[in-house]
């Protein structure tokens, strides 16, 4: 369960439900166009980009996919491509050999079992090579508008902990805490908002608490004064 928080004095007048509602409201006003920074035009492209994003920045991935998506358009294209060709196309990214293998194998499954379409079901997505729950949540929420869960990356982990929404360290446990306190209809939106806030304001090092839009609602757990 989320830990008891010790918020700023001005936030004590809000109960937890009201505090979370205000957090969401402020973040939506601050980041009105919050969405994944990865470039994509369809579910397949988002799936590929998210697989590539492991241990890479979105900027690095976008540089690669700008050319990749011009050459490969369907799951069958990736499935038929020689593995060396895929490796060469993404070699500037970390773990490119594993990622190329996963993309090729995942697309072979999409082409043979799902008519080349990305299935909008969690249980089917996580069975694809290279796809875990976080990647599946990204695709379901942002390509299909399905709130199956909450994306937990390093930003969501850090900011949620500082906000007192979870005391857990493991992504699966963090997600369960967040799913209990964040309204289901806001799960995808919450993920995108928190990720942007983590990048722009609540950074891992030197978070800008004095200028933070959530300053009065945040207990600043783990933040050194």
Domain with residue 101: its CATH number is 1.10.340.30
Looking at 85, 119, 143, the residue that finishes a domain is 143
Please calculate the CA angle 19-202-16 and round it to the nearest 5 degrees: 10
Q: Mean pLDDT over all residues of the chain?
A: 94
Q: Are residues 52 and 139 in the same domain?
A: yes
Phi, psi for residue 168 in degrees, rounded to 5? -80, 160
Please calculate the CA angle 54-93-143 and round it to the nearest 5 degrees: 45
Q: Are residues 16 and 75 in the same domain?
A: no
Closest by CA to 66, choosing from 40, 88, 85, is 40
Residues 6+ apart with CB under 8 A from 122: 133, 136, 137, 140, 148, 149
Question: pLDDT, tens digit, for every residue of 150-165?
Answer: 999 999 999 999 999 9
Looking at 90, 112, 143, the residue that finishes a domain is 143
Could you list the active site residues?
134, 153
Q: Band the pLDDT of 140: cuts 50, 70, 90.
A: very high
Instruction: Kindly state whether residue 223 falls inside one of the protein's structural domains.
Output: no
Question: pLDDT, tens digit, for every residue of 199-225?
Answer: 999 999 999 999 999 999 999 999 986
The pTM of the full predicted model, rounded to 2 decimals, is 0.90
Q: Are residues 30 and 78 in the same domain?
A: no
CATH number of domain containing 209:
1.10.1670.10
Q: Are residues 158 and 200 in the same domain?
A: yes
pLDDT beyond 90 at 13: no
CB atoms within 10 A of CB 199: 14
Q: Are residues 134 and 161 in the same domain?
A: no
Q: How many domains does the chain have?
A: 2
Instruction: Kindly state whether residue 29 falls inside one of the protein's structural domains.
Output: yes
Q: Please indicate whether residue 170 or residue 8 has the higher confidence score (pLDDT).
A: 170
Q: Band the pLDDT of 197: cuts 50, 70, 90.
A: very high
Instruction: Kindly state whether residue 224 falls inside one of the protein's structural domains.
Output: no
**15 alpha carbon, distance to own chain's centre:** 28
pLDDT beyond 90 at 1: no
Instruction: Kindly state whether residue 66 falls inside one of the protein's structural domains.
Output: yes
The boundaries of the domain holding residue 194 are 9-35+151-217
Instruction: Kindly state whether residue 201 falls inside one of the protein's structural domains.
Output: yes
Axis-axis angle for helices 43-52, 96-113 (nearest 10): 150
Q: Are residues 16 and 90 in the same domain?
A: no
Which residues belong to the annotated binding site for [4Fe-4S] cluster? 202, 209, 212, 218
């Amino acid at each position: 369960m989320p830990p008891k928080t010790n918020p700023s004095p001005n936030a004590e007048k809000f109960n937890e439900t009201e505090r979370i509602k205000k957090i969401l409201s402020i973040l939506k006003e601050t980041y009105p166009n919050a969405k994944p920074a990865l470039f994509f035009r369809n579910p397949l492209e988002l799936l590929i980009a998210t697989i590539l994003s492991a241990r890479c920045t979105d900027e690095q991935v976008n540089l690669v996919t700008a050319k990749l998506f011009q050459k490969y358009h369907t799951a069958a294209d990736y499935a038929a491509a020689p593995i060396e060709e895929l490796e060469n196309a993404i070699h500037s990214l970390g773990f490119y050999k594993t990622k190329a293998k996963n993309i090729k194998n995942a697309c072979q499954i999409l082409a043979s079992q799902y008519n080349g379409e990305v299935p909008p079901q969690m249980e089917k997505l996580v069975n694809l090579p290279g796809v875990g729950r976080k990647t599946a949540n990204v695709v379901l929420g942002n390509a299909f508008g399905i709130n199956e869960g909450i994306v937990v990356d390093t930003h969501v982990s850090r900011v949620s902990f500082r906000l007192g929404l979870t005391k857990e360290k493991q992504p699966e446990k963090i997600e369960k805490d967040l799913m209990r306190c964040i309204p289901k209809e806001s799960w995808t939106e919450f993920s995108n908002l928190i990720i942007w806030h983590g990048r722009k304001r609540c950074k891992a090092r030197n978070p800008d608490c004095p200028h933070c839009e959530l300053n009065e609602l945040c207990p600043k757990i783990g933040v050194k004064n």
